[in-house]
Amino acid sequence: MLEIHDHGSIRTLRLARPPVNALHAPLLESLAAAVARAPADGARGLLLTGSGGRYSAGLDVAALAPLDPAGLEAFLATFFDCLTVLATCPIPIVAAINGASPAGGAVLALYCDRRIMAQGEFRIGLNEVQVGLYPGPLIHRVLSRIVGARLGAELLVTGALLTPAEALATGFVDELAEPSELEPRARAWLERVLALPAHAFLATRALVRRDLVELMTGASAADRAALAAAWNGPETRAALASLLARLGRR
């Protein structure tokens, strides 16, 4: 479900839940635990990627669809907890986006320090609206933090999925690489920043990520409950059932 490999002081966390690395509660819990544990294990940088030619297809619709309001709220608490661990991680994280990364997959990448995306015929973006889901204020703020308020609003309202070139042009990702060079390039970036004077680098990193940490510490149980209520509405329930049926026919 989650593969862990070390290259010196850089630890790779590889989502490994075939066929599409969909995010369900056990995977989110495993990822959060691995990120939290890494500094104590001696890791100085993290590389987050996927297996099977995919980064992550996002939240597991098959796991979400049958949940009642309390179940949805519990799942969202697990998701928010994982995002909080990513936001507050004291060591740098690079997302090596090796394939399709819609919705929840894109969200994981937005919490990393840097996003490097492989060239290829796949897309990244927050397409919740396209499948009938309300993304909520937290995701809106996190996207706007990366691409700016005006472009963030456009991307979120339309649910646009971007090609690698479009993602680079909008600032959604920071760098493109050929698939074979993706992880070496991600490790190379980590090696460059880890070679900087440690105190100055880590203090400055904490400074520029303070707004992200504050977003997470301000995300309340009421926010999760409101999002769960929105997702439990009849229109969203119907949209999830329709999406699940389409996925089952593939």
Give the pLDDT of residue 247.
Answer: 67
Q: What is the block-wise mean pLDDT of the chain (250 residues), using blocks of 10 residues? A: 97 97 97 98 98 94 84 91 97 98 97 98 94 89 97 97 98 98 98 98 98 88 79 81 68
Residue 62 lies in a domain: yes
Residue 243 lies in a domain: yes
Give CA–CA dist 17/14, Å, rounded: 9
Is 53 within a domain?
yes
The tally of domains found in the chain comes to: 1
Q: By residue range, what is the domain housing residue 48?
A: 2-196+216-249
Residue 66 burial (CB < 10 Å; 0-12/13-18/19+)? exposed
Residue 8 phi/psi, 5-degree rounding, is 65, -125
CATH number of the domain that residue 139 is part of: 3.90.226.10
Q: Would you say residue 144 lies in a domain?
A: yes
In a domain, 205, yes or no: no
pTM: 0.94
Residue 208 domain-assigned (yes or no): no
DSSP 35: H
What pLDDT does residue 226 have? 79
Q: Is residue 201 part of a domain?
A: no
Is-contact 163 123, C-beta < 8 A?
A: yes
Lookup result for tokens 């909008």: 170
* Predicted local confidence at residue 242, as pLDDT: 78
Identify whether 77 is part of a domain. yes
